[in-house]
Amino acid sequence: MPCTVINGGFWGDEGKGKIISYLALKDQLDVCVRTGSVNAAHTVWFQGNCYKLHMVPAAFINEKCRLLIGTGANIHIPQFLKEVEETSVKNRIGIDYQASIIEEKHSIQDKASAHLKGVVGTTGRGVGPAIEERVRRSAKLAKDIPELQPYLTDVAKEANDAIDNGKKVLLEGTQGLMLSLFHGTPPYVTGRDTSASAICSEAGVGPTKVDNVLTVFKAFMTRVGGGPLPGELPKEEALKRGWFETAAGTGRERRSAPFNFEIAKKAVMINGTTQIALTKLDILHPQCKSLRTYQELPEEAKQFINKIEKQTGVPVVLIGTGPEALDIIDRREQS
């Protein structure tokens, strides 16, 4: 896997942090480039500890992995410095010179917008206003910020040099395709494109350099904020099934619905998906908890996986069976 793009297939919250952290250890990633912004959190469980990361790449648990934040990202300086301290990655993380900055005024603007807060359901982190200012060519950039000087680098050059030298590089997408500004459900979308193509663009890696697009789906769908959610369940039913969740970054309640195969097919088509990761199979089928081989799965769980593969035409290569980074069935090894 010289270069792999990871993105979400639904509305975010698919478990990308878990999959990335697994690959960081199992495949011994050399470089991980995070895209997106502070309004998305990736949750990593490792050795009994829970990390909710808005800025630091989820591959940090591999102590040899170089961590980068791409030029298309938006940096929230206090959050970045806080996470660098918490994860002890100061000597191996870099930010692109031209990544833009989220200022306090952006958060104030975000929270003051009745349209965004009341209708769309913004996190209020200031990402949208920061992107707006960037489009107007008036945004502050990482190279303008004294506190960020020790971290500055040319992320595109580092990533491409690593790929050209045969190193293992992962491009870490945030949120999910159905929140894409272009391909989602307007106006209930985020302020950027979240597709695999956009992840490459934000990292500065051309599409011909990518070997795999790994799209992550959860065994059921969840969504925060407003907007359509086909098959949405009442909260009471979600609680009964064990599907009720709160967002890692904001604590907002997630609405729940069964896995939707038509949406999955759309995500696979637009992303050019070559592999699928499926998380939280143990929530759908509790008897799958912590299993590590496909053969051990109950027949009902196998039928669900087979249906995903048949409907999308893409193999399910990683299956999450618990919260820990290594609670994974890796079919790349078992096939």
Q: Is 118 exposed, middle or buried (0-12, 13-18, 19+ CB in 10 A)?
A: exposed
Residues 135-149 have a mean pLDDT of: 95
Pairwise CA distance, residues 44 & 326, whole Å: 11
Return the percentage of the chain with pLDDT > 70, whole number: 94
DSSP codes of every residue in 201-243? HHHT--GGG--EEEEEEESEEEE-SSS--TTPPPHHHHHHHT-
Does 160 score more than 90 pLDDT?
yes
User: Per-residue confidence at 108, pLDDT binned at 50, 70, 90?
Assistant: confident
Reply yes or no on whether the pLDDT at 135 is more than 60: yes
User: Which one of the listed residues 42, 54, 76, 183 is annotated catalytic?
Assistant: 42
Other Cβ atoms within 10 Å of 310 Cβ, number: 9
Predicted confidence (pLDDT) per residue in 181-209, tens digit: 999 999 999 989 999 999 999 999 999 99
Query: Closest Cα partner for 11 from 48, 32, 39?
Result: 39
Domain that holds residue 76: 3-334
Q: Which two tokens stand for residue 267?
A: 């995500």
Range scoring the smallest mean pLDDT among 60-64, 76-80, 245-249: 245-249
Six token digits for residue 256: 């729940």
How do residues 11-38 score in pLDDT, each as one tens digit?
Answer: 999 999 999 999 999 999 999 999 998 8
pLDDT band at 119 (very low <50, low <70, confident <90, very high): low
Per the annotation, the verdict on 327 as an active-site residue is: no
User: Residue 330 belongs to a domain with what CATH number?
Assistant: 3.40.440.10
pLDDT at residue 126 greater than cutoff 90? no
pTM summary value: 0.94
Q: What is the mean pLDDT of residues 112-119?
A: 57
Domain count, the chain: 1
pLDDT digits (tens, 9 = 90+) for 260-271: 999 999 999 999
Q: What is the pLDDT of residue 335?
A: 53
What is the distance between the alpha carbons of residues 199 and 195, in angstroms, rounded to a whole number?
A: 6
User: Active site residue: 13, 110, 282, 327, which one?
Assistant: 13
In which band, very low, low, confident or very high, does the pLDDT at 130 lie, cut at 50, 70 and 90? confident
330 catalytically annotated: no
